[in-house]
């Protein structure tokens, strides 16, 4: 394949750079780049900016309000977004639920839900994992029993990212116990403010609050909220997870972090030299850079095939594994580069009017939080162990 971008693609890259410089609020870029969490209002502001530009629904067909971008254009946008400090687009409604609805949803669901995702009327979260069903998602136990024109839902979901902001949840529920576990799962849309829905926060090891437990107790859900056919939810879930896994790899974000790491490692302190003078540290940076280059080329091959009409299969599992390992290694190296300055800090230092400031260089303030947060990415979206099983079955026939 040809790794050179066409004149049209290079022109598109310049357009993205221009829009980022003109439209991305500097305070949002600064907070995002420094590792501070954005508020719901700031996230919605960023989405509204992209929507006004016509750049929010990047994977949607034009007929549904999408950009009509090619896979390579989406790849270019991600590179320039990260380089400019732009926040990532929250994926749950836009790039996870929407493709499922477009492929399998009813005309009524598409007409009603897709515009509300675009204009920000609805914030969706994902109800997949359960306390006893994470990597082994097919063992989920949340039940949905048909009762006339409704389903009655009982059960629990966990690790529901940004559920505290959401007013809607798309969820996998068990509608049958016949046959294999995968054959009795359905894909259901629910209101987070419906009677019987309870949400509880989970504080993660980095001290952040981004995940939740969600409980369902006799929640009545209109049967029209079923996506596709009953007991076919596993098919839709696999379709969705293929989209999620390629995003978890985060090639542009990893490239940006590597650039920062190399700059930090090259800094000198008095006559002590730099970390790049340490052969072991330099070797680890070299190895992760080699791995990242190889993964980027693999990602470009996947993008190129998608440009020709292909769809990622086992490749999404491959890039998910390698991408998560690379991002974990980079955050570990950055934490080591910060040394004692990477000690945990109080987030109050970023509050308006605070008299406290971060100890040490600015980059060090959030490296521990990023390190701990990245521990999870080899688990969610289908754990790396499960992805290796998928690869062995699909490629090796084991």
CATH assignment at residue 184? 2.40.110.10
In a domain, 161, yes or no: yes
Q: Does residue 34 sit in the same domain as residue 167?
A: no
The CATH number that applies at residue 304 is 1.20.140.10
Asked if residue 96 belongs to a domain, the reply is: no
**One domain, residues 371 and 266:** yes
183 is a domain residue: yes
Residue 237, classed as helix, strand or coil, is helix
Predicted confidence at residue 308, as pLDDT, reads 63
Question: What is the chain's Cα-based Rg?
Answer: 22
Catalytic residue among 210, 244, 315, 329: 244
Note whether 257 and 385 are same-domain residues. Answer: yes
Query: Is the same domain home to 384 and 265?
Result: yes
**Strands, E assignment, the chain:** 124-127, 143-147, 150-157, 168-174, 185-191, 197-203, 209-222, 226-227
Pick out the chain residues at pLDDT < 50: none
Whole-number pLDDT of residue 360: 74
In a domain, 285, yes or no: yes
pLDDT score at 128: 94
Both 392 and 342 in one domain: the answer is yes
Tell me if 239 is assigned to some domain: no
The number of distinct structural domains making up the chain is 3
Contacts of 34 (CB under 8 A, 6+ apart): 362, 365, 366
Tell me, yes or no, whether 150 and 83 share the same domain. Answer: no
Do 286 and 150 share a domain, yes or no?
A: no
Tokens of 48: 């509204």
* pLDDT reported for residue 23: 97
Q: Is 230 a catalytic residue?
A: no
d(CA 301, CA 297): 6
- Residue 378 falls within a domain, yes or no? yes
Looking at residue 387, what is its pLDDT? 84
Give the structural domain span for 222: 124-231
Is there a domain that residue 201 lies in?
yes
φ, ψ at 181 (rounded to 5°): -55, -35
* Domain stops at, among 231, 260, 287: 231
Confidence (pLDDT) at 367: 87
């Amino acid at each position: 394949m040809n790794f050179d971008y066409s004149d049209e693609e290079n022109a598109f890259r310049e357009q993205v750079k221009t829009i980022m410089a003109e439209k991305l609020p500097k305070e949002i870029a600064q907070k995002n780049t420094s590792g501070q969490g954005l508020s719901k209002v700031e996230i919605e502001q960023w989405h509204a900016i992209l929507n006004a530009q016509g750049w929010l629904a990047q994977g949607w067909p034009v007929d549904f309000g999408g950009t009509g971008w090619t896979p390579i254009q989406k790849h270019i946008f991600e590179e320039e977004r990260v380089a400019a400090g732009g926040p990532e687009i929250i994926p749950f409604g836009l790039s996870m639920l929407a493709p499922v609805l477009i492929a399998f949803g009813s005309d009524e669901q598409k007409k009603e839900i897709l515009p509300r995702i675009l204009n920000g009327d609805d914030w969706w979260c994902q109800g997949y994992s359960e306390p006893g069903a994470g990597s082994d998602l097919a063992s989920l136990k949340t039940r949905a029993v048909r009762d006339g024109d409704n389903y009655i839902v009982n059960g629990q979901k966990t690790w529901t990212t940004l559920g505290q902001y959401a007013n809607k949840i798309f969820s996998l529920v068990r509608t049958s116990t016949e046959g294999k576990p995968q054959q009795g799962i359905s894909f259901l849309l629910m209101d987070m403010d419906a009677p019987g829905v309870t949400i509880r926060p989970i504080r993660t090891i980095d001290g952040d609050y981004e995940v939740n437990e969600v409980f369902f107790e006799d929640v009545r859900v209109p049967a029209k909220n079923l996506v596709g056919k009953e007991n076919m939810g596993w098919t839709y879930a696999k379709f969705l997870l293929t989209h999620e896994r390629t995003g978890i790899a985060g090639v542009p974000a990893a490239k940006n972090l590597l650039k920062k790491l190399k700059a930090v490692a090259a800094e000198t302190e008095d006559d002590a030299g730099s970390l790049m003078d340490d052969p072991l540290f330099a070797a680890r940076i070299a190895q992760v850079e080699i791995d990242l280059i190889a993964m980027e080329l693999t990602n470009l091959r996947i993008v190129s095939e998608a440009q020709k009409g292909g769809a990622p299969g086992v490749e999404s599992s491959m890039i998910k594994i390698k991408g998560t390992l690379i991002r974990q290694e980079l955050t570990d190296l950055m934490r080591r580069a910060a040394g004692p300055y990477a000690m945990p800090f109080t987030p109050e230092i970023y509050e308006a009017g605070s008299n406290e400031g971060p100890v040490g260089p600015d980059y060090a303030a959030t490296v521990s939080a990023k390190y701990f947060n990245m521990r999870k990415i080899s688990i969610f979206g289908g754990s790396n162990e499960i992805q290796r099983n998928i690869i062995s079955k699909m490629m090796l026939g084991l």
